[in-house]
Amino acid sequence: MIDRVGRYALDRVRAAGRLGHFLADLVRAVPDVATWRGPLVVQMRKIGVDSLPVAMFIAAFTGVVLALQASYTFTGTVPLYIVGTVVAKSMMLELGPVLTGLALSGRVGASVAAELGTMRVTEQVDALETLAYDPMAYLVMPRVLAGTVMVPLVVALGIVVGIITGWLTSLSLIHLSTPEFVKGLKLLYQFKDTWFGLAKSASFGMTITLVGCRLGLDTWGGAEGVGRSTMRAVVFSAMLILALDAFWAVVLL
Partner 1 sequence: MIQFRDLRKAFNGRPVLDGFTLDVEDGETMVIIGFSGAGKSVALKHVVGLLPPDGGDVIVDGRAVSQLDRAGLTALRGEVGYVFQFAALFDSLTVEENVALGLVRRRLPEREITTRVQDALRLVDLPDTGSRYPAELSGGMRKRVGIARAIALRPRYILYDEPTTGLDPVTSAVMDQLMVRTQEQLGVTGIVVTHDMRSAYTVGDRIAMLYEGRVRQVGSVAEIQGSSDPIVRQFIEGRPA
Q: Which of 217/241 has CB closer to partner 1?
A: 217
Q: Which of 85/230 has CB closer to partner 1?
A: 230
Residue 132 beta carbon to partner 1: minimum distance, rounded to whole angstroms: 5
Residue 10 beta carbon to partner 1: minimum distance, rounded to whole angstroms: 14
Residue 127 beta carbon to partner 1: minimum distance, rounded to whole angstroms: 4
Q: Which of 77/130 has CB closer to partner 1?
A: 130
Q: Which of 35/229 has CB closer to partner 1?
A: 35
Residue 61 beta carbon to partner 1: minimum distance, rounded to whole angstroms: 33
SS3 string of the chain? CHHHHHHHHHHHHHHHHHHHHHHHHHHHHCCCHHHHHHHHHHHHHHHCHHHHHHHHHHHHHHHHHHHHHHHHHHCCCCCCCHHHHHHHHHHHHHHHHHHHHHHHHHHHHHHHHHHHHHHHHCCHHHHHHHCCCCHHHHHHHHHHHHHHHHHHHHHHHHHHHHHHHHHHHHHHHCCCCHHHHHHHHHHCCCHHHHHHHHHHHHHHHHHHHHHHHHHHHCCCCHHHHHHHHHHHHHHHHHHHHHHHHHHHHHHHC
Q: Which of 48/101 has CB closer to partner 1?
A: 48
Q: Which of 122/178 has CB closer to partner 1?
A: 122
Residue 152 beta carbon to partner 1: minimum distance, rounded to whole angstroms: 26
Handedness of CA 13, 17, 23, 27 (dihedral sign): positive
User: What does the binding site for partner 1 look like in residue numbers (CB under 8 A)?
Assistant: 34-35, 119, 122-124, 126-127, 129-133
Cα(94)–Cα(159) distance, integer angstroms? 10
Residue 131 beta carbon to partner 1: minimum distance, rounded to whole angstroms: 4
